[in-house]
């Protein structure tokens, strides 16, 4: 018997565990001087250290440590006065040393938290997510499986290896088990990754592009009977690569676990893969047996012992917290909670802020980014920020409306044109010949026509029945193909019929 989501929530409590990997935006790799630029020709950014050649000696990238400490501080963590790197031993073709240099029982940052807000039908709720640890490690290379239909290793003819990514500094941020989110577990998971991404972006430590893999989330989920103490068995959905997918993957796993438990079956502890197209997960690697990675302290690297005053210097230069920034913007724009949440959810806060900074009225700026632009973004299943329209364009459109050179309706055509790549607003206005008909004589000609066509309606208006004017205004707007300013038409019409 599978349960509906509502029934599941009555019976079980979901527990989350979120592991986020973020590639740091340092110029060079974690333990060598190779470049980290994305998209270079395969195997052009390698050296004896990141290829794991015998005798090559690694040196820690100080910038990577500074970034990691900044992340830890922003997440309210303690910073270890002394921590060591460890070798995590296993074989994989994209990891030429046969071990990953990581941290094990001595992470550089530990014991923090992050508060996240979720917009629910019961209002905006806040949840505290406890952070277990923030540690440093290095990324692996990339395997490309060729010749198969799916790009996966199964069914492939051969594999290619690109070591450009091997050794790029990676920070892993791991939560404690997160309980108490109830039915909002999927939304909390999403809000956490979103908030974390905003923090990392504000710190300038990573370009946090989920679609390019510079920020990746593994979502652990388990269920336990409500009231039970002991945690259920978790599954770990790997490398979920968008905020929306984080939410969908958690929900899908909750439903899958519940269906198993209701049948009296057990959940297998394993990794899983999420599929965007079906919204389902499929099994990956079993984790029933704890793997023994034979961790041991890395003998080639000195321990990390950041000086107190260095830590304090990093703390003193932390930027404004995204949550504080949101509060500040909300107050200055005078927006209700719901609208604020809508902007955050649509990820257009930056765009709205920049549009306002370019002189647009906050209400206008917001209504474009949340209205027409969000609608088109939704239709195309893309984030609004990836459409080819900029805050500059929107500020210009708002200004043109203000000057009476565009009506709302015409402005929508211009915005659509910009999004379709036809050019900047001015060019589109010129190319499409868009202009507001504000010339009184042209409007009067259309008004006279509308009265001729509907004389009985005009009589009503003359007799004082003002609402009837709507039909005439509509006819004028139609004749001028929406290029007339409706308020102006109304004014002229009522005057003409002796009502103003």
Exactly one of 63, 125, 142, 176 binds ligand ADP (CB under 6 A); that residue is: 176
Q: What number of helices (H) and strands (E) belong to the chain?
A: 17, 14
Q: Which residues have CB under 8 Å from 307's CB, separation 6+?
A: none
Three-class HEC string of 433-488: CCCCECCHHHHHHHHHHHHHHCHHHHHHHHCCCHHHHHHHHHHHHHHCCCCECHHH
What are the phi and psi torsion angles at 413 (to 5°)?
-65, -40
Dist CA 338 CA 82 (whole Å): 45
Exactly one of 47, 51, 161, 231 binds ligand ADP (CB under 6 A); that residue is: 231
Nearest in space to 12 (alpha carbons), one of 192, 190, 232, 220: 232
Residue 165 vs 234, nearer CB to ligand ADP: 234
Exposed / middle / buried, residue 158 (Cβ in 10 Å: 0-12, 13-18, 19+):
exposed
Nearest in space to 75 (alpha carbons), one of 51, 111, 106, 48: 111
User: Please, what is the minimum distance in Å from the beta carbon of residue 403 to Zn ion?
Assistant: 56
Exactly one of 101, 181, 222, 450 binds ligand ADP (CB under 6 A); that residue is: 222
User: Please, what is the minimum distance in Å from the beta carbon of residue 45 to Zn ion?
Assistant: 7
What are the phi and psi torsion angles at 467 (to 5°)?
-55, -25
DSSP H helices in 276-348: 308-316, 322-333, 337-345
Q: Is 214 in the site for ligand ADP (CB under 6 A)?
A: no
Q: Is 132 in the site for Mg ion (CB under 5 A)?
A: no
Handedness of CA 252, 257, 263, 269 (dihedral sign): positive
User: Please, what is the minimum distance in Å from the beta carbon of residue 152 to Mg ion?
Assistant: 20
Residue 132 vs 361, nearer CB to ligand ADP: 132
Exactly one of 177, 213, 383, 474 binds ligand ADP (CB under 6 A); that residue is: 177
Which does residue 162 bind out of ligand ADP, Zn ion, Mg ion, none, counting CB within 5 to 8 angstroms by kind?
none
Per-residue mark of binding to Mg ion, 19-58 (x: CB under 5 A): x---------------------------------------
Which does residue 13 bind out of ligand ADP, Mg ion, Zn ion, none, counting CB within 5 to 8 angstroms by kind?
none
Tell me the CA end-to-end span of the chain in Å, nearest whole number: 70
Which does residue 177 bind out of Mg ion, ligand ADP, Zn ion, none, counting CB within 5 to 8 angstroms by kind?
ligand ADP
Q: Is 284 in the site for ligand ADP (CB under 6 A)?
A: no
Q: Is 17 in the site for ligand ADP (CB under 6 A)?
A: yes
Q: Give the residue nearest to ligand ADP (CB).
A: 17
CA dihedral 90, 92, 96, 98 (to 10 degrees): 10
Cβ-contact 242, 211 below 8 angstroms: yes
User: Please, what is the minimum distance in Å from the beta carbon of residue 144 to Zn ion?
Assistant: 20
Among the listed ranges 47-55, 100-108, 273-281, 406-414, the one in contact with Zn ion (CB under 5 A) is 47-55
Among the listed ranges 11-19, 49-57, 343-351, 422-430, the one in contact with ligand ADP (CB under 6 A) is 11-19
User: Please, what is the minimum distance in Å from the beta carbon of residue 429 to Zn ion?
Assistant: 52
Q: Which residues have CB under 8 Å from 221's CB, separation 6+?
A: 14, 15, 16, 17, 185, 234, 235, 237, 250, 253, 254, 257
Dist CA 92 CA 141 (whole Å): 10
Dist CA 149 CA 377 (whole Å): 30
User: Please, what is the minimum distance in Å from the beta carbon of residue 17 to ligand ADP?
Assistant: 2
DSSP H/E element including 244: helix 243-262
Exactly one of 47, 156, 399, 494 binds Zn ion (CB under 5 A); that residue is: 47
Per-residue mark of binding to Zn ion, 4-43 (x: CB under 5 A): ----------------------------x-x---------
Dist CA 52 CA 87 (whole Å): 13
Dist CA 21 CA 23 (whole Å): 7
User: Please, what is the minimum distance in Å from the beta carbon of residue 44 to Zn ion?
Assistant: 11
User: Please, what is the minimum distance in Å from the beta carbon of residue 10 to Mg ion?
Assistant: 30
Which does residue 253 bind out of Zn ion, ligand ADP, Mg ion, none, counting CB within 5 to 8 angstroms by kind?
none
User: Please, what is the minimum distance in Å from the beta carbon of residue 231 to ligand ADP?
Assistant: 4
The alpha carbon of residue 302 and the mean position of all alpha carbons in its chain are separated, in whole angstroms, by: 37
* Total residues in contact with Zn ion, by rule CB under 5 A: 5
Q: Is 419 in the site for Zn ion (CB under 5 A)?
A: no
Residue 142 vs 244, nearer CB to Zn ion: 142
**DSSP 8-state code for residue 184:** G
Dist CA 483 CA 438 (whole Å): 9
User: Please, what is the minimum distance in Å from the beta carbon of residue 47 to Zn ion?
Assistant: 3
Tokens of 370: 């949340």
Per-residue mark of binding to ligand ADP, 105-134 (x: CB under 6 A): ---------------------------x--
Which does residue 34 bind out of ligand ADP, Zn ion, Mg ion, none, counting CB within 5 to 8 angstroms by kind?
Zn ion
User: Please, what is the minimum distance in Å from the beta carbon of residue 33 to ligand ADP?
Assistant: 30
Residues in the site for ligand ADP, rule: CB under 6 A?
A: 15, 17-19, 132, 174-177, 220, 222, 231-232, 234, 236, 287
Residues in the site for Mg ion, rule: CB under 5 A?
A: 19, 218
């Amino acid at each position: 018997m599978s349960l509906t989501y509502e029934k599941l929530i009555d019976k079980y409590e979901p527990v989350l565990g979120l592991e986020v990997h973020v590639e740091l935006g340092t110029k060079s790799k974690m333990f060598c001087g190779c470049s980290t630029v994305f998209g270079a020709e395969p195997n052009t950014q390698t050296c004896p250290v990141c290829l794991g050649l015998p005798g090559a000696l690694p040196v820690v990238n100080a910038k990577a440590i500074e970034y990691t400490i900044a992340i830890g501080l922003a997440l309210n963590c303690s910073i270890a006065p002394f921590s060591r790197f460890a070798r995590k031993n296993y074989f994989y073709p994209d990891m030429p040393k046969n071990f990953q240099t990581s941290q094990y029982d001595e992470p550089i940052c530990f014991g923090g938290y992050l508060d996240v807000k979720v917009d629910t039908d019961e209002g905006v709720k806040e949840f505290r997510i406890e952070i277990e640890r923030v540690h440093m490690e290095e990324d692996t290379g990339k395997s490309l499986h060729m010749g198969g239909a799916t790009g996966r290793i199964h069914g492939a003819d051969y594999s290619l290896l690109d070591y450009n990514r091997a050794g790029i500094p990676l920070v892993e941020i791991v939560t404690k088990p997160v309980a108490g989110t109830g039915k909002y577990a999927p939304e909390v998971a999403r809000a956490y990754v979103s908030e974390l991404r905003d923090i990392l972006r504000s710190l300038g430590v990573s370009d946090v592009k989920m679609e390019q893999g510079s920020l990746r989330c593994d979502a652990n989920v388990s269920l336990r009977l409500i009231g039970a103490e002991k945690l259920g068995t978790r599954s770990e959905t790997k490398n979920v690569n968008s905020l929306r997918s984080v939410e969908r993957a958690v929900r899908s796993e909750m439903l899958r676990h519940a269906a198993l438990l209701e049948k009296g079956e057990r959940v297998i502890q394993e990794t899983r893969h999420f599929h965007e197209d079906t919204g389902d997960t499929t099994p990956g690697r079993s984790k029933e047996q704890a793997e023994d990675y034979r961790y041991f302290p890395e003998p080639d690297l000195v321990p990390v012992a950041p000086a107190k005053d260095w830590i304090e210097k990093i703390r003193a230069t932390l930027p404004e917290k995204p949550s504080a920034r949101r509060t500040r913007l909300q107050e200055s724009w005078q927006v209700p909670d719901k609208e604020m949440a809508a902007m955050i959810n649509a990820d257009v806060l930056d765009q709205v802020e920049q549009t306002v900074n370019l002189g647009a009225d906050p209400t206008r700026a917001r209504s474009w980014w949340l209205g027409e632009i969000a609608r088109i973004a939704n239709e195309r299943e893309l984030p609004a920020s990836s459409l080819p329209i900029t805050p500059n364009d929107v500020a210009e459109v708002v200004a043109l409306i203000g000057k009476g050179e565009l009506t709302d309706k015409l402005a929508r055509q211009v915005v659509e044109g910009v999004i379709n790549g036809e050019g900047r607003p001015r060019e589109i206005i010129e190319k499409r010949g868009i202009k507001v008909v504000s010339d009184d004589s042209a409007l009067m000609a259309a008004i006279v026509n509308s009265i001729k066509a509907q004389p009985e309606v005009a009589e009503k208006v003359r007799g004082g029945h003002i609402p009837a004017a709507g039909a005439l205004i509509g006819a004028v707007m139609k004749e001028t193909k929406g290029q007339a300013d409706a308020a102006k038409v109304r004014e002229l019409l009522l005057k003409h019929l002796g009502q103003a």
